[in-house]
Structure formats: structure tokens, C-alpha cells
Amino acid sequence: MSSSQEVFNLLNKKFDTRKLVTCAILTALVIVLQAMGAFIRFGTFSVSLVLVPIVIGAAVCGIWTGAWLGFVFGLVVLFTDSALFMAVSVPGTIITVLLKGILAGLASAAVYRLAASVNTTVGTVAAAFICPVVNTGVFLIGCNIFFMQTITQWGAAAGFDSAGKFLIFGMVGVNFLLELAVNMILSPILVRLISIRKKNV
């Protein structure tokens, strides 16, 4: 093997190791932030920070890391925050929760890759925006497919005249806006972190 080929292989191994370490750190962050999500509150509402490391991983390490972090996010949700839905439909809960996390990570990576061709800031802001949109959107679709009858009952018990209003205003509205706001507010920090990581690579 030529010396130039050896150098190339070493560099590739170094880059792969850095990506692996970054992915491992972000995976731990996803687990901790989701597990502690109930304790981070804005008034009476919990504030989820778990989408932030998903955006970082998707932007820095690519589409498969984004999907992996979304999958880990979904797994933690299944074990910590899905009892009500599990009681209604176990398959529906598993499909909805895992799919929304995975697709949020995939969408973040895809949007970042596309928009970062303009510049890193645009790419990061776009990824930070699309992640909660896809996460919440897939959740709403899953609710319509698997849980609508039960949600209608929950909405009536809560005083809503339709299941749709209960979904939007009673279940996801404020939390979605808080997640979106947190991601957008932290976008400049994400830009800086991603720029530093890119320079190190």
C-alpha cells in the first residue's frame, strides 16, 4: 500500500471516529434531556430541549445520525411518557412515537444539507425550524390514524366541542410553540457549535 493511501485511510478513520464520538455524546444528551423533560418547565408547561441535539447531530454528522438520534428520542418517549397512548393501542403508539422521532431527524438532516448550500446559518435555522414541525406533524397524523376515537372522548371530557380543537389547543399547541421557540432562539448557538465542529473536522 502506498504512503498516500495509508494517510488517506488514517484520515478517514479519524473522521469516522470523530463522528462516532459526536454521535455517542449527542445520544447521551437526547436520553438525559428527554428523561428530564418533565422537570424543565415554562409556567405549567414542560419545555423540551431534546430536539436541539437531534438538529446538531443531523447537521454535523448527516442523515443517518439524525435518524438514529430521532430513534433514540422515540425509544425514551416510549419508556417514559407514553402510558396513556399505550393503554389505547400499543402498535399505534410504537409506530407513531418512533416514526415522528426518526422522520424529524431525517428531515433536519435533509433540510440542513439543502439549505447549507447557501450558508451554514440558513441551514441551521431551517433544520431547527423543520425538526419540531415534522415531530408534531407526524404525531398529529398518528393521532388521527390510531387514537381519534379516544381523543374525541378526552376532548369532550375536557370541554372541547371537537377532537381537532382538543388536539391543537389542548394537546400540542403550546408545547409545539415552545419547542419551536426554543429551537429558533438557540439557533445562533447551534450555528456556532456546528461551525466549530466543522472546523475541527
Domain ranges for the chain: 3-200
Give residue-wise pLDDT tens across range 21-44.
888 999 999 999 888 765 565 544
- Letter string b/e over residues 35-55, b meaning 16 or more CB atoms within 10 A of that residue's CB: eebeeeeeeeebebbbbbbbb
Dihedral sign for Cα atoms in the order 169, 175, 179, 184: positive
70 pLDDT more than 50: yes
| pLDDT for position 42 | 52
The C-alpha R_g of the chain, in whole angstroms, comes to 19
For the domain spanning 3-200, the CATH number is: 1.10.1760.20
Q: What are phi and psi of 93, to 5 degrees?
A: -65, -45
Q: Indicate the residue type of 184.
A: M
| pLDDT for position 102 | 96
| pLDDT for position 119 | 84
CA distances from 13 to 64, 84, 85 (A): 18, 45, 43
